[in-house]
């Protein structure tokens, strides 16, 4: 299932989560973003900034956050986020 959140919304979510872990992103363009495409399909995006990494698994609707050693810090289900946002509207 494809989640309705767009890339810019996910970048903002990643920046907020990085701040929760003590790494402030002053401008979204400061994050290094890599897009993983296979057979013309966007499978994932990764975001890196000052030792933290986030991986957006597009088809699964998940964003996973990792520290510099590769330890998973948090998982965000974008489908749940999207449903909560629609309910609040």
What are the structure tokens assigned to 26, written together?
A: 């002053």
- Tell me the whole-structure pTM to 2 decimals: 0.84
Listed by start position, the domains of the chain span 7-88
pLDDT, tens digit, for every residue of 12-48? 999 999 999 999 999 999 999 999 999 999 999 999 9
């Amino acid at each position: 299932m494809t989640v309705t959140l767009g890339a810019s919304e996910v970048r903002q979510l990643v920046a907020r989560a990085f701040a929760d872990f003590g790494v402030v992103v002053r401008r979204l363009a400061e994050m290094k973003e890599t897009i993983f495409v296979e057979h013309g399909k966007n499978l994932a995006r990764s975001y890196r900034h000052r030792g933290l990494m986030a991986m957006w698994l597009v088809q699964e609707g998940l964003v996973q956050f990792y520290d510099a050693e590769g330890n998973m810090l948090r998982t965000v289900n974008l489908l749940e986020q999207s449903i909560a946002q629609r309910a609040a509207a």
